[in-house]
Amino acid sequence: MNDTPAASPAMKAKHQRLVLLVIAILVLLAAALAAIWALRNQASYFYVPSEIAADPPAPDQAVRLGGMVEKGSLRTEADGVTIGFVVGDGKARVPVRFRGIVPSLFVEGSGVVAEGKLAADGTFRAENLLAKHDENYVPREIKDMTEHQAQQVVAETR
């Protein structure tokens, strides 16, 4: 550590600047590489039911599942806080289990995004549910879905 630029006066003035610059760039580069590596592993992808049916995610991978809550599928278990329901997109259906307090606008026949993991038995274990809050605050996925898929989905669920 002692052969630093200031300790060796022979070193030209430009050199310390260069050393600092190189350190800064190396660290930032390391940060960028670490970020890219981590994002490939940790980003949670958005699925609709037909995609889960076609190509299910790995059991321990956090994903988001978006679709319509099928009418008549909502069940509450005996403990009063665990619910089960089916999310569908008109092509495929995925059973979902969720333990928690549901958002106020979570109702059958409406859109939902569930965050969680797909269990080995094909049930989606949701850790969090996102539903439409109000006209100004709609999760992106639901909004896009109502634009692209709503007519088909609504026609089938009505």
Partner 1 sequence: MIAELGLASLWLAAALAVLQLVAAGLWLRGKSEALGGVIRPVAVTQGLLALLAFAALVLLFCRTDLSVKLVALNSHSAKPFIYKLAGTWGNHEGSMLLWVMVMGLAGGFVALVERRLSDRMLAATLGWQAFVSLGFYAFLLFSSNPFERLDSAPPEGQGLNPLLQDIGLAFHPPTLYLGYVGLSVAFSFAIGALVTREVGPAFARAMRPWVLGAWIFLTIGITAGSYWAYYELGWGGWWFWDPVENASLMPWLAATALLHSVSVLAARDALRAWTVMLGVVAFSMSMVGTFLVRSGILTSVHAFAVDPERGTFILALLAINIGGALALFGLRASSVTEGKRFAAVSREGALVLNNVALSAILGIVLFGTLYPLLAEAMGAKVSVGPPYFNPMSALFAVPMLLVLAVGPLLRWKTDRLARIRWEIVVPVLIGIAAAIGVAAFARINVLPWIGLALAPMLAVASVLPLRGRNPRRTPFAVWGMVVAHFGIAVSLFGMASESAFSQEKLVAARVGDSVEIGPWHVTLRAVQPVAGPNWTALEAVLDARYAGNAAQTVRPQSRNFWAPPQQTSEAALHTRWNGQLYAVLGGEAPLASGAKPGDARWQLRLWWKPFAPLIWLGGGLIALGGLLALIGRVAADVRRLVAKDKIAWRRMRQGR
Binding site for partner 1 (CB under 8 A): 1, 4-7, 13-14, 16-17, 20, 23-24, 27-28, 30-32, 34-36, 38-39, 42-46, 62, 64, 76-81, 99-102, 104-105, 133-141, 143
The gap between the terminal CA atoms of the chain, to the nearest Å, is 74
Residue 64 near residue 102 (C-beta atoms within 8 A): no
28: left (phi over 0), alpha (psi -120 to 50) or beta: alpha
CB of residue 156 to partner 1, shortest distance in Å: 23
Residue 21 or 154: which CB sits closer to partner 1?
21
CB of residue 5 to partner 1, shortest distance in Å: 6
Residue 134 or 158: which CB sits closer to partner 1?
134
Residue 79 or 158: which CB sits closer to partner 1?
79
CB of residue 30 to partner 1, shortest distance in Å: 7
Backbone angles phi, psi at 32, to 5 degrees: -65, -45
Please give the Cα distance from 105 to 6 (Å, whole number).
65
Short-list 52, 149, 130, CA closest to 95: 52
Residue 42 or 155: which CB sits closer to partner 1?
42
CB of residue 15 to partner 1, shortest distance in Å: 9
Please give the Cα distance from 125 to 52 (Å, whole number).
13
- The amino acid occupying position 134 is D
Residue 24 or 119: which CB sits closer to partner 1?
24
CB of residue 60 to partner 1, shortest distance in Å: 11
